[in-house]
Amino acid sequence: MRILRRVTIRWRITIGTLVVAIVLSTAAVVLFRSQVERILNTTTTTLLRYDAAPYVNDLTSSGSPSFERPARGQLAAVIDPTGKVVVSSLPRSFDNQLAEIALLPVNVETLVQGDESYRLYRASVITNTGEWKVITVRNEDSSVLSLDRITQALIVSTLVIVLGFGVASWLLTGAALRPVTRMRKQAEAIAAEGSTEPLPIGSATDELSALATTLNLFISDVRQSVDRERQLVSDASHELRTPLAILMAQLELAHLSRGDAPALEAQIVIAQQSVARLSGLATGLLELSQLDSGAPDIQSSWTQLGAELAASVDRARMLAVASRVTIDFDVAGTPTSSTYRIAVENFGRVVNNLTNNAIAAVPTGGSVRIALRHSTSELLLTVVDSGPGMPESFLPVAFDRFSRPDAARAAHDAGSGLGLAIVHAIVQAARGSVTLSNADGFTVTVSLPTVPLSTDAVAGTV
């Protein structure tokens, strides 16, 4: 087994095929030879019965039999009840053994005389004068020779078949594994040169093409992940560069204003705002990193999410006091035992981000309406604000990290561009969806599917 582990798959399959072919061919040769031997023995025994039949019939039908000498080539002998040999054409080597042969307990026997082998048949006939013995013999050398030649032919044929199996297995395995070789070389090129070519998929619809398809999907996901990480690093570097530069300038101005207390205080306040922006960026990036790493399988009930919505609205109302934005919410639906694949704190982050975006986008005195509904298959959260909405061209990229619209909403929104990206990541992790539209006020709709009841739970409710 250790030796097989060191050889290639091609050699393993070829060796295994040879072993199986040898075992099956040997079994077939042994079985076929035994069948031929049985047929030859049966044929010889039948011929011996035919040789003995005239004498047996003569003894049975005639009270005083008259025996004719056996035909040429027939070996037969008749012994009367007294043990006298009446007729015999047996070789002289049998003369001293006839008495013993007459007393054999079996009717068919194989005897060896010198270098020759004989098959012997003995028949007993009871007459008025006593028990007669009819003995017929045939030389088995021709049968043995035929059997040996058949065996040799079978062995040669077996060797040819086994060799053919080995060659065919080697060629077929090589052809079957050729796509694997191409995939390996392409994978090496990807690792060494950063090639973007996919792994080759053969024209055949087989396990190797399925493997190549799966690996291509895996490589594509890895590339997309790497591209996202690179884009994140690039965007983060770009986003952090500006507030850091501003913060450095503000600190220099504060240093120059050390003799002017009011000016120094103003610069410190502005620097605090820059630090707060940097802190928000860092927090958003950390949240996205945590979401990308995968969230635990946590489920929350309708009651828990409704309570979290009320708490989030209370927090949002405190932020909206300065801009006199009205925030209303409505939780509609009878209590349900359904659960959803989202943690309570993550649901709160979704509501907080959406309401903060809405508060920042609507003009002074505007309004934000939040509604929570449920059905048998999903939970729906809608956030509608009276702001100017988003440009239609921006909606397809609104969930990208650090993306911000250029027009109407950008004039009011000074966020980092991570809020909707965080919302999208949380909702996707919960296997839900989030959509944006400008109809009847800017509307964000979050849909979370209901967790199907397990078999045990269904059985418990019956």
Per residue in 157-176, pLDDT (tens digit) is 999 999 998 999 999 888 87
Domain ranges, ordered by start, for the chain: 12-147, 245-292, 300-458
- Determine the residue type at 74: Q
Which residues lie closer than 8 Å to 56 by C-beta, 6 or more apart? Answer: 123, 125, 134
**pLDDT at res. 410:** 44
Going by pLDDT thresholds of 50, 70 and 90, the confidence category of residue 454 is low
Which residues lie closer than 8 Å to 204 by C-beta, 6 or more apart? Answer: none
Q: What CATH code is assigned to 300-458?
A: 3.30.565.10
**Nearest residue to 14 (alpha-carbon basis) of 176, 152, 245, 158:** 176
Beta-sheet strand order (sheet of 378-385): 326-331, 367-374, 378-385, 442-449, 433-437
Question: What angle separates helix 344-361 from helix 419-429, to the nearest 10 degrees?
Answer: 150
Residue 15: count other Cβ atoms within 10 Å of its Cβ.
15
Rounded Cα distance, 119 and 321, in Å: 120
Structure tokens at 200: 């080759």
Per residue in 316-341, pLDDT (tens digit) is 898 888 888 999 999 987 888 889 99
Per residue in 18-74, pLDDT (tens digit) is 999 999 999 999 999 999 989 988 888 898 888 888 888 888 887 566 667 777 778
Q: To which H or E segment does residue 123 belong?
A: strand 116-127
* Residue 365 region by backbone torsions, left for phi larger than 0, else alpha for psi between -120 and 50, else beta: left
Task: Enter the pTM of the model.
Answer: 0.49
Q: What CATH code is assigned to 12-147?
A: 3.30.450
**pLDDT at res. 360:** 86
pLDDT above 50 (res 460): no
* Residue 431 region by backbone torsions, left for phi larger than 0, else alpha for psi between -120 and 50, else beta: left
